[in-house]
Amino acid sequence: MDKHLAGIDFSAPSAEVARRLIGVTMLVDGVGGRIVETEAYDRTEPAAHSFNGPTPRNFSMFGPPGRSYVYRSHGLHWCLNFVCREEGHGAGVLIRALEPLAGLERMRERRGLDDPRLLCSGPGRLCQALGVTREFNNLALDAAPFALLAPEAGAAVAVLAGPRIGISKAVELPWRFGLAGSRFLSKPMR
DNA sequence: TGTATGATCGCCT
DNA sequence: GGCGATCATACAG
């Protein structure tokens, strides 16, 4: 597949891909919105699932870039990543929050909530809102059910960086990225 | 506004 | 047997 998607080169380092994904619109079966928060992971640092090599859970992280890696977190939530770098490297970007724009009614049904700020503001929440489960693992991001749309040309996207959330290793790396001023972040940027 | 806790599964030591 | 790339709820201040 073409490694360039929504104007982003997915063979680039995960931190660069994570930064450039802010402002991109992501849809799953037509439901989704603008990406406002991401985190980068790379096999070279111990917070990444790929750090210890391939396992049955993380094998899609070692496949070609531009595909999905979906895993179960804490036994009950799903989390969505976009694979990057070259095939076999083991890098990805965790999608942590969206600004809901399309399919709001579907999201409300799935989440059992009305407040738009609680629909997609967290990696587990957005997967529930978009209906992402294990069946969506290791799929190409340039084909249905996924769709990625670049921001409008010339649109200014102000991105802030900070430490990643919920990890205990490599906590110092500033590999969390967020849209400045967004009300849809899982937590404010520092 | 903040801190604690339970739910519950796959992988690692 | 322990520990997460989490979330919702319960409580304290």
Say how far apart CA A98 and CA A112 lie, in whole Å.
Answer: 17
**Shortest CA–C1' contact from A169: which nucleotide?**
C5
Buried b (16+ CB within 10 A) or exposed e, A13-24: ebbebbbbbbbb
Whether the CB of A154 is less than 7 Å away from nucleic strand B comes out as no
Whether CB of A143 is under 7 Å from strand B: the answer is no
- Which CATH architecture does the domain made up of A4-179 adopt? Roll (3.10)
Angstrom distance, A178 CA to B8 C1': 30
pLDDT > 70: what percent of chain A? 98
pLDDT surpassing 70 at residue A55: yes
* Whether pLDDT at A153 is above 90: no
| Each residue's pLDDT tens digit, A97-116 | 999 999 999 999 999 999 99
What is the reported pLDDT for A43? Answer: 95
What is the rounded average pLDDT for all residues in chain A? 94
pLDDT value at A17 more than 80:
yes
